Amino acid sequence: MPNVSDGFMRNGEFQAYFQETHKAGALDAKTKELLHLALVLAYHCEP
């Protein structure tokens, strides 16, 4: 089974996805960034 995450990162699609989801919209960009940090800490990942 191919590693999907390798292709996702290699093509830069994840970076584009990440930037798009962190733009201001219903929530401003700062709120999204803080929510992201909270989830990272809750799951014990490195930010």
Average pLDDT, the chain: 76
Residue 1: how many other CB atoms lie within 10 Å: 3
Is the pLDDT score of 32 beyond 80? Answer: yes
Q: Does 47 or 26 have the greater pLDDT score?
A: 26
* C-beta separation of 32 from 22 below 8 A: yes
Is the pLDDT score of 4 beyond 70? Answer: no
What are the sequence ranges of the domains in the chain?
4-42
Confidence label for 21 from pLDDT (cuts 50, 70 and 90): confident
Is the pLDDT score of 42 beyond 80? Answer: yes
**How high is the pLDDT of residue 46?**
65
